[in-house]
């Protein structure tokens, strides 16, 4: 499973990239607003900091303007994935942009039928939002499972990018049902390495080591 980080915080991105665990970055207009940075400037910086795909979202609602925005974003760097919403116009824009060789991430996906349409217009990534479905008492993970089945049935190459991930359990379950990518907030990504028994075990080992009076260096 690939890990993308869902943030526009450049310090976090650089820190996580240095682990070698980061395969890409996703942003959205809310994350750009949170960063307080200029959109085009921060996206260019992110693209330079990571080798993998960096999703940058259009804000137009009509296909024609989405295309203009998407083409402008695609010029920033080779690793841009233009993010378009899962609307009729977004699907039209996706078809054209992927035809031009640009990676496209179709976002705000909440149903398997929406994901089917995105795959049919050649989306590079489909972003089903797990947490936001759970928020309204629906089953976000079931959606990932449904999309996996449909994509496998028809051998679609669109990658399932599990989004709106809120917990470590979301990451594990998305991996178990076969999501290709998880986009994860920095704190959740770092939290995947934590376990209280690791901390407890380490504390015990170091206490015992101290008793030996030895040093490695």
Q: Which residues are catalytic?
A: 83
Q: Count of H helices and E strands in the chain?
A: 11, 8
Asked if 52 contacts 79 with a C-beta cutoff of 8 angstroms, the reply is yes
Q: Which is nearer to ligand G3P, 34 or 200 (CB)?
A: 34
Closest approach of ligand G3P to the CB of residue 199, in Å: 27
Closest approach of ligand G3P to the CB of residue 38, in Å: 19
Closest approach of ligand G3P to the CB of residue 166, in Å: 6
Closest approach of ligand G3P to the CB of residue 55, in Å: 8
Q: What is residue 129's DSSP assignment?
A: B
Closest approach of ligand G3P to the CB of residue 107, in Å: 6
Q: Which is nearer to ligand G3P, 63 or 163 (CB)?
A: 163
User: What are the backbone angles phi and psi of residue 185, rounded to the nearest 5°?
Assistant: -60, 150
Indicate the helix (H) or strand (E) that contains 104: strand 103-109
User: What are the backbone angles phi and psi of residue 183, rounded to the nearest 5°?
Assistant: -100, 125
Footprint on this chain of ligand G3P (rule: CB under 6 A): 6, 26, 28, 129, 131-132, 163-164, 166, 183
Distance CA 130, CA 139 (A): 8
Q: What contacts 24+ positions apart, CB below 8 Å, involve 71-75? A: 71/97, 71/100, 71/102, 73/43, 74/100, 74/102
Q: Which is nearer to ligand G3P, 144 or 197 (CB)?
A: 144
108 to each of 62, 72, 130, 208, how far by Cα in Å? Answer: 16, 22, 10, 52
């Amino acid at each position: 499973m690939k890990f993308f980080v869902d943030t526009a915080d450049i310090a976090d991105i650089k820190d996580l990239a240095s682990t070698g665990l980061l395969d890409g970055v996703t942003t959205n207009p809310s994350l750009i607003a949170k960063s307080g940075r200029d959109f085009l400037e921060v996206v260019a910086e992110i693209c330079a900091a990571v080798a993998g795909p960096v999703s940058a979202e259009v804000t137009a609602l009509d296909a024609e303007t989405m295309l203009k925005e998407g083409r402008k974003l695609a010029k920033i760097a080779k690793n841009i994935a233009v993010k378009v919403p899962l609307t009729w116009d977004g699907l039209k824009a996706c078809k054209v942009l992927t035809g031009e060789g640009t990676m496209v991430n179709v976002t705000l996906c909440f149903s398997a039928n929406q994901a089917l349409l995105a795959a049919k217009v050649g989306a590079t990534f489909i972003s089903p939002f797990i947490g936001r479905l759970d928020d309204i008492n629906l089953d976000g993970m079931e959606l990932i499972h449904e999309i996996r089945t449909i994509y496998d049935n028809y051998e679609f190459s669109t990658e399932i990018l599990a989004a709106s991930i809120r917990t470590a359990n979301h990451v594990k379950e998305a991996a178990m049902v076969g999501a290709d990518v998880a986009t994860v907030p920095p704190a959740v990504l770092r939290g995947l390495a934590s376990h209280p028994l690791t901390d407890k075990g380490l504390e015990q080992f170091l206490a015992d080591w101290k008793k030996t009076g030895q040093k490695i260096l």
